């Protein structure tokens, strides 16, 4: 005997069904699945880094290895110019890259979503101004702007997060604006307005839920860009030089002559790590886009 389910139970059942269906579609994309698996592994390892490795290996005063030694039995990926293990440095660099990548992305997506929705929802001169503002930031060379910001702010991780976040929001804003426009042209928005729904109600209850899936797919792509931007800025010497990150490792490799001495073992691991992480985010983002945007399905 089945008793009539409560409305809340029906809603949850539908949501579970929708999630299961989306997961099924996502899982059918091999690249996305591989990317997601790899990222999960990397995030777990990065969180566990203080437990499974010894941070003192990053301290140049306590190192044990020889200077700039190629890979050997003790140091699988060799040592840097100060005798630190490259494997350990790359491992710990993951934490900085992911932290900056995620933090800058949250900042960027937040700014982009707010400006995008505002530019589409309110209309009139405000929209026009916001749209021009977005287009202006869209064409600005973001690296040069980020460098300028970094030069005037005190050096450090917070500065990199701010510089990357503040320069990378326009694509999100454009995307969100377009999506908000399509949603707001639908009849149920008109109905909601007719029933007396205010700006907050329409944006919160109707626009945001419709925009969020797209924002989510876009977010994974933004994380990849943020990680590249972070490594570029650290490479150019913006970050805190005492914090080990992939970009700062590569910067050290160039300035201390490891590159001219052909120390490929100091060069490959951080770069491969960047490429692997960014590629994974790109794969997941594209898979999500395919799931969320039926028009892309099958079109490859």
Partner 1 sequence: MTEALSSIDTAAPLVDPDERRGGTGTARFVATKLAEAAGSLILVVVLGFLLFRMIPGDPVLTMTRNRPTTPALLDELRVKMGVDKPLLTQFGDYIGGLFRGDMGTSYILQRPVADLIAERTWPTVLLVGTATLLAIALGLWLGVRAAWRRGSFFDRAHTGIALTLWSVPQFWLGLLLLVASNGLFPSRGMHSPDAAPDFLSQSLDVAHHLVLPCFTLLVVFYAQYMLVMRSSLLGEMNAEYLTTARAKGLREDLVRRRHAVPNALLPTVTLVFLQFGMVVSGSVSVEAVFSWPGLGQLTFDALHGPDLPLLQGVFVVLAGAVVVMNLLAELLYRVLDPRVRAA
Return residues touching partner 1 (CB under 8 A). Answer: 18, 22, 132, 135-136, 139-145, 147-153, 174-175, 178-179, 182, 209-210, 213-214, 224, 228, 231-232, 235-238, 250, 253-254, 259-260, 262-264, 267-268, 270-271, 274-275, 278-279, 282, 291-296, 300
Give the residue with the Cβ less far from partner 1, 102 or 264: 264
Q: Is 171 helix (H, G, I), strand (E, B) or coil?
A: helix
Calculate the CA dihedral of residues 147, 149, 151, 155 and round it to 10 degrees: -100
CB of 171 to partner 1, least distance (A): 9
Give the residue with the Cβ less far from partner 1, 52 or 139: 139
Q: What span, in angstroms and rounded, lies between the C-alpha atoms of 193 and 202?
A: 8
Q: What span, in angstroms and rounded, lies between the C-alpha atoms of 179 and 104?
A: 23
Give the residue with the Cβ less far from partner 1, 45 or 268: 268
Give the residue with the Cβ less far from partner 1, 65 or 269: 269
Among candidates 97, 65, 98, 95, which has minimal Cα distance to 81? 65
CB of 21 to partner 1, least distance (A): 10
Give the residue with the Cβ less far from partner 1, 46 or 223: 223
Q: What span, in angstroms and rounded, lies between the C-alpha atoms of 298 and 300?
A: 6
Give the residue with the Cβ less far from partner 1, 63 or 163: 163
Do 243 and 252 form a contact (C-beta atoms < 8 A)? no
CB of 44 to partner 1, least distance (A): 22
Exposed / middle / buried, residue 299 (Cβ in 10 Å: 0-12, 13-18, 19+):
exposed
CA distances from 217 to 118, 160, 290, 292 (A): 20, 23, 9, 8
CB of 271 to partner 1, least distance (A): 4
């Amino acid at each position: 005997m089945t008793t009539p389910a409560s409305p809340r139970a029906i809603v949850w059942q539908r949501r579970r069904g929708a999630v299961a269906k989306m997961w099924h579609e996502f899982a059918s994309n091999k690249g996305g699945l591989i990317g997601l698996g790899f990222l999960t592994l990397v995030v777990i390892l990065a969180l566990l880094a203080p437990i499974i490795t010894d941070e003192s290996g990053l301290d140049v005063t306590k190192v044990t290895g020889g200077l700039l030694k190629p890979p050997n039995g003790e140091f699988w990926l060799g040592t840097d110019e100060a005798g630190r293990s490259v494997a350990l440095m790359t491992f710990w660099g993951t934490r900085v890259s992911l932290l900056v990548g995620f933090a800058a992305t949250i900042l960027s997506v937040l700014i982009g979503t707010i400006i995008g929705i505002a530019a589409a929802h309110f209309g009139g001169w405000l929209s026009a101004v916001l749209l021009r503002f977005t287009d202006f930031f869209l064409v600005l060379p973001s690296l040069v702007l980020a460098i300028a910001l970094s030069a005037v702010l005190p050096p450090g991780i917070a500065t990199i997060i701010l510089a990357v976040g503040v320069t990378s929001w326009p694509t999100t804003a454009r995307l969100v604006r377009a999506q908000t426009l399509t949603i707001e042209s639908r009849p149920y928005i008109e109905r909601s307005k007719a029933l007396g729904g205010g700006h907050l109600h329409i944006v919160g209850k109707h626009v945001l839920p419709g925009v969020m899936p797209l924002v989510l797919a876009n977010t994974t792509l933004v994380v990849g860009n943020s990680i590249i931007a972070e490594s570029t800025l650290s490479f150019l010497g913006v970050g805190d030089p005492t914090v080990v990150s992939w970009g700062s490792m590569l910067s050290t490799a160039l300035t201390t002559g490891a590159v001219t001495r052909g120390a490929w073992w100091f060069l490959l691991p951080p770069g491969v790590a960047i490429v692997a992480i960014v590629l994974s985010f790109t794969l997941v983002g594209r898979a999500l886009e395919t799931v969320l945007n039926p028009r892309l399905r099958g079109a490859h």
